[in-house]
Structure 1
Amino acid sequence: MWQRGRVNRVPVDVDLALVGGGGAASLVLAALDRHGVAGLRVAVVDPVRKRGQDRTWAFWGAPGGDLDPVLSASWSRVDVVTPAGRRVLPLAPLRYAMLRSAPVYDRAAAAERRLGAVRIGAPVGALHDDGQRVTVHDPDGRVLLRAGWVLDSRPRPPRRPGRTNWLQHFRGWWLAAERPTFDPGRAVLMDLRTPQPARGVSFGYVLPVNDRYALVEYTEFSPAVLTDAAYDVALRGYAGLLGLDLAALRVREVENGVIPMTDGPFVPRPSPRVVRLGTAGGATRPSTGFTFSAMLRQADQVARALAAGRPPVPAPAYPGRHRWLDAVALRALDRGHVGGVEFFARLFERNPPERVLRFLDGVTTPAEELAVMRSSPLVPMTGAVLGDAADRLRGRLRRDRVPQ
């Protein structure tokens, strides 16, 4: 039995190993439990057991899902604010929801116990896949376990750098007030009145849990992160735009994050029996940084496949045409073909809210995507399409010239 991170003399042998124990693995464990996957030998390998509130996910979907009992809040309408004014978007039949990490980790821990999973508290190095089983090593080369399949959610860069490489980076304050301050019936999805960076787009948003407690966040889509001091200045400025008196509020928690936004290709299946999940498996939408909904789909598909006796290989997180649209949008923003405020303002002004949310989630039909494309500035986006095509051709020619 594995004890306190010491290397076992006899490696564990399992059917399924989850390498990394964060959000993606936690969702898989809960899905395995929910779908009643029985008789499966499972191991979780991570030097840290995730607990508590270390992150917040926001996503949209129809009410009545499995996560409803553990949501922190949800909203049937949201605001999109630009310098030109405020739009209130009714989301029915969808809703926007906020989920904090603690209940996700708690559910995973309970599922782990019910599944009888083995937990190995050690970092992972190389994965050796012989096509029949995968041998999982620690960074010193010692064997930790052998598994029929490995689901690897450790962060990894794309296979090669993208033509555009941005980041979604942010800082949020959980603000507590002594008296009613926030409107719990409505979230601010995107507030584009913030000062815009020279290269990129910035916005704020507000997710109220109740009238005295809310997450207020500043976000940028841009090539590089800011200093701690710059994030705090930006947050104070955004609080001022909201009319909040910070002297009368208490910062109870601070959240920070950096998410890749790139058209570089991620490899979801690097070898026959290793499957990557989360950002490493392509779950992050390149043009927005949204990840949670795709992770949730991946987890459900893995569990359903195993319950049916099939390989635990989820479908691609987003259709190929969406990855192309993302590459074009990133290029247009990065090269200055279109301003970020104009791009997102037109997206919400010229499309029904449900279409926008479905598009951002990667589940629209080609007809819906054509409508979204028509709502964007035609001439600048055409330039981005042509530039992207030329870059793809040059990249293909360079790779063809490399000796095999």
Structure 2
Amino acid sequence: MTPPSAPSRTSDVVVIGGGAAGLSLAHRLTADGSLSVTVLEPPDGPVRPPERTWCYWEDRGAGDFDEAVTASWSRLRVHGADGRAFTVDPAPLTYRMLRSAAFERLVHERLAASPGGRVLRATAGTVHEVPGGAEVRCTDPDGRALTLRARHVFDSRPLRSLPPARTQLLQHFRGWFVRTDRERFDPGVADLMDFRVPQPPHGLAFGYVLPLAPDRALVEYTEFSRAPLTTEAYETALAHYTRDVLGLGTHTVESAEQGVIPMTDARFPRRAGARHHRIGTAGGATRPATGYTFAAVQRQSTAIAAALRDGRVRVPAAHGRRSLAMDAIMLRALDTGRVDGPAFFTGLFRHTPAERLLRFLDGATTPWEEWTIGLRTPVGPMLRTAVELPFLPRRHRPAPTAPTGVSTS
């Protein structure tokens, strides 16, 4: 028996997905009330993503989402594989953490206060081009078929398969939110990379510690490598890191998050049709060399909103050509083992002013600044990799299937 159909609904824009990319775009589009926007989010159940953590850096002072920020740090620390640590101050930038539930609540409140904002819980299906726009076929929580019509559809759903690439690594991880029996953490310092962990044959591994209080922190084990681990393997790595490296002593794991992010030099198409556009990770917003996504999503959302108000439709590239070219070289050099991952990243942080390095990772440096940073890398292996890249074929590889969880994005 075919379920009954629900009425069709029309708006200027339909945004598919209520994660960082979808909600950020909806927030930008409804800021002045000139556009009607429907955000299509999956209903509660197995298809709804678990709570996630997003991190990014931003100038000190007021930011767009300060009310939802869980914690921030003005100092960053890196531990080399040899055990030596150094702390940097990236002023005027701070490193910030957002939990997806708090971000969702904040943006939902703003959408509810906007005359054009609306959030709809339904399972998105196919998108079809129609005269003057597009329509999204979906199913509401009661099983009724529903059609959403709009002039433009912006789709943040993960791709079923990744575009062909010369190199594809995965950033995969598991994080514990821990509470210790004594004060073990400095809430003013985030451990961005701790290489005092065993390294995989291809890529690199590091610990990651974001203190939330003297006795509470997010502690994560992360790998950049070709394939994810089993949950049991992550648990073993985290147990080793918390016990033998951090020496946390007695502690309680209050919750855990796990996920995987593609790190690839694939070219992500930002258009699936004349009125159907891809945003977020599906639209190439994830930085290939680091996995950072949240800040690029904000740039992309701001540019899309400005273009629509000017009567144009444009989903810009989230990262510049120079940045993508450098990332492709780094990924290939890391995957082939030509560069030592821990030494590579430790050297960058040790010898480059922190604020400049973070701007570099965000694609906001000048060619001269990038040249000076490049001189701090293993020049020979990087040049060899740059020469061979144009001759390497791009191949299809399966998309990662684990849910996105804790991320440095």
Q: Is TM-score (shorter-chain normalized) higher than 0.5?
A: yes
What do residues 209-259 of structure 1 show as CA deviations (whole Å, max 9, x unaligned)? 1111110000000010001111011111111201111xx211111011110
TM-score normalised to structure 2 length: 0.88
Inter-partner Cα distance in structure 2 for 1:90 and 1:127 = 47
Residue 200 in 1 paired to residue 203 in 2?
yes
**3-state DSSP class of the match of 2:92?**
coil
Compared with structure 1, are the counterparts of its residues 53 and 92 closer, same or farther at alpha carbon in structure 2 (3 Å cutoff)? farther
- 2:28 is aligned with 1:36: no
Structure 1 position 309, deviation (Å): 3.7
Cα offset, 1:323, TM superposition: 1.0
- One-letter amino acid of the counterpart of residue 246, structure 2: L
- Cα distance in 2 between the residues matched to 1:372 and 1:127: 44
State the AA in 1 paired with 2:147: L
1:10 to 7, 15, 18: 7
* Cα deviation 1:112-150 (Å, max 9, x = unaligned): 322354444332232222572112224899661211011
> Is the 8 Å Cα contact of residues 30 and 111 (structure 1) preserved in structure 2?
yes
| Alpha-carbon distance between aligned partners in 1 of 2:122 and 2:305, rounded to the nearest angstrom | 25
Sort the Cα spacing of 1:131 and 1:191 in 2 relative to 1 into closer, same or farther, 3 A: farther
Q: Deviations over 1:360-383 (max 9, x none)?
A: 112222222212211110111111
* Whole-angstrom CA distance in 1 between matches of 2:189 and 2:99: 18
Matched, 1:242 2:241: no
Aligned residues: CA RMSD: 2.4
Q: Which amino acid aligns with 1:372?
A: I
Alignment CA distance shift 1:86-1:386 (3 Å): same
Give the TM-score taking structure 1 as reference length: 0.89
Match of 1:272 in 2: 274
Q: 1:179 to 1:92 in 2, by over 3 A?
A: same
Amino acid at match of 2:175: G
Q: 1:395 to 1:110 in 2, by over 3 A?
A: closer
Equivalent-residue separation in structure 2 for 1:202 and 1:189 (angstroms)? 12
- Structure 2 partner of 1:282: 284
Identity %: 42
Is 1:23 aligned with 2:20? yes
Give the equivalent residue in structure 2 for 1:74: 72
Describe the SS at the equivalent of 2:220: strand
Residue number among 218, 221, 236 corresponding to 2:221 in the alignment: 218
Q: Which runs of 4+ in 1 moved over 4 A?
A: 6-9, 49-53, 139-143
Give the distance between the partners of 1:241 and 1:145, measured in 2 at CA. 52
Deviations 1:345-364 (A, max 9, x none): 22112211112111111222
Rounded Cα–Cα distance in structure 2 between residues aligned with 1:216 and 1:137: 41
**What SS does structure 2 have at the residue aligned with 1:25?**
helix
Structure 1 residue 165, shift from structure 2 partner: 1.1
User: Could you say which residue in structure 2 is the equivalent of 1:134?
Assistant: 134
Give runs of aligned pairs for residues 97-108 of structure 1, distance below 5 A.
Answer: 97-108=96-107
* Separation in 2, partners of 1:291, 1:29: 17
- In 1, the alpha carbon distance for the partners of 2:56 and 2:118 equals 31
Q: Number of aligned residue pairs: give it.
A: 384
Give me the whole-angstrom Cα distance separating, in 2, the residues matched to 1:7 and 1:132.
27
Match of 2:301? 299
Q: Deviations over 1:67-124 (max 9, x none)?
A: 2232111111110110231111111111111111122100122123223544443322
**Matches of 1:49 and 1:28, distance apart in 2:** 22
Q: How far did residue 8 of structure 1 move?
A: 4.2
Q: Give the distance between the partners of 1:7 and 1:61, measured in 2 at CA.
A: 48
Whichever residue aligns with residue 45 of structure 1, its letter is L
SS in 2 for 1:325: helix
* Structure 1 segments unaligned to the other structure (5+ residues): 1-5, 397-404
| Contact preservation (8 Å) 1:158, 1:266 | no
What is the match of residue 253 of structure 2?
Answer: 251
Q: Which residue of 1 aligns with 2:263?
A: 261
**Is the Cα–Cα contact under 8 Å of residues 148 and 273 in structure 1 kept in the other structure?**
yes
**In the superposition, relative to structure 1, how do residues 82 and 265 fare at CA in structure 2: closer, same or farther (>3 Å)?**
same
Correspondence for 2:124: 124
